[in-house]
Amino acid sequence: MDLVGLLVDLLPLALLAGVIGLDVVSFPQAMISRPIVAATIAGAFFGAPVAGLVCGAALECLALEALPVGASRYPEWGSASVVAGAVAAHGASATALPRPGAFTVAVAVGVITAWAGGWTMTRHRRFIAAFARPRLDQLAEGQRRTVVGLQVFGLTADLLRGALVGLVAFPPALMLADWCDTRWGVSDDVTRAVVVTCVAAVAVSAVWKDFHAISGTRRLFLLSLAVGTALVVMGA
């Protein structure tokens, strides 16, 4: 692997991971941090948007399961999807699907990085609380500078957190994908089928569970699944 090339890729990727990681909670929550967007942008950034899109769609199926509710700890899909999209794009051409080893590793790395990113978010929140604690008197006095400063501090720290996640996760993920690709012993078709089956099962179970409280929804889902499957068959 070309070390200089890796470094050249790493810095903009970290910046992208930072900006997209910021979107998850802090600013502006416009969902550029959703996998289907973030991984595609990362793939496009590395010259293989379709590979990024396929990886993003796979991770989006997983992300359907985890609702980003309040103070609960949930996977941080933003910067993780940037890393995964970049790994999926590795070795792929602009219009090609991701290479089998890179695709599998990208999805697995996306999940691991999202889990680790969720952990960094909880640390980040504690970090802000620790930063705010000595300034509580100033907040109680209604000092504008403290209120604005705390907000800017939190935003900046979150940007750096996302960038750091990208910076730490990308090099080993890329090396692993590279290593796996040279030793991959399963055909492209079967590899894609295995990965896609896993993520699609999570998506199906997520939709099934999410809408259980609304009467008739599960029947609608089953019916439309049948229609969707028929559309695939008829499109052949």
* Interface positions, 50-89, toward another protein (CB under 8 A): 50, 52-54, 57-58, 60-71, 75
Tokens of 182: 């040279």
Query: With binding defined as CB under 8 A, does residue 225 bind another protein?
Result: yes
Handedness of CA 47, 192, 115, 37 (dihedral sign): positive
Q: Which of 155, 160, 164, 168 binds another protein (CB under 8 A)?
A: 155
Q: Report in angstroms how near the CB of residue 26 gets to another protein at its nearest.
A: 5
Query: With binding defined as CB under 8 A, does residue 134 bind another protein?
Result: no
Q: Which of 8, 12, 147, 172 binds another protein (CB under 8 A)?
A: 147
Q: Report in angstroms how near the CB of residue 173 gets to another protein at its nearest.
A: 12
Q: Where are the alpha helices (DSSP H) in the chain?
A: 3-25, 35-45, 49-63, 77-89, 100-132, 136-140, 144-183, 188-210, 217-234
Query: With binding defined as CB under 8 A, does residue 91 bind another protein?
Result: no
Q: Report in angstroms how near the CB of residue 93 gets to another protein at its nearest.
A: 14
Q: Closer to another protein at the Cβ: 3 or 233?
A: 233
Choose the stretch contacting another protein; rule: CB under 8 A; options: 2-10, 12-20, 26-34, 164-172: 26-34
Q: Which of 128, 164, 168, 175 binds another protein (CB under 8 A)?
A: 128
Q: Round to whole Å and give the CA distance between 92 and 48.
A: 6
Query: With binding defined as CB under 8 A, does residue 93 bind another protein?
Result: no
Q: Report in angstroms how near the CB of residue 151 gets to another protein at its nearest.
A: 5
Q: Closer to another protein at the Cβ: 8 or 151?
A: 151
If we measure between CA atoms, which residue out of 171, 130, 166, 126 comes closest to residue 22?
A: 166
If we measure between CA atoms, which residue out of 27, 34, 17, 48 comes closest to residue 151?
A: 27
Q: Residue 143: what residue type?
A: Q
Contact 70, 64 (CB under 8 A): no
If we measure between CA atoms, which residue out of 164, 168, 162, 170 comes closest to residue 27?
A: 162
Quick note: the x/- pattern for another protein over 168-207, rule CB under 8 A, is -----------xx--xxxx-xxxxxxxxxxxxxxxxxxxx
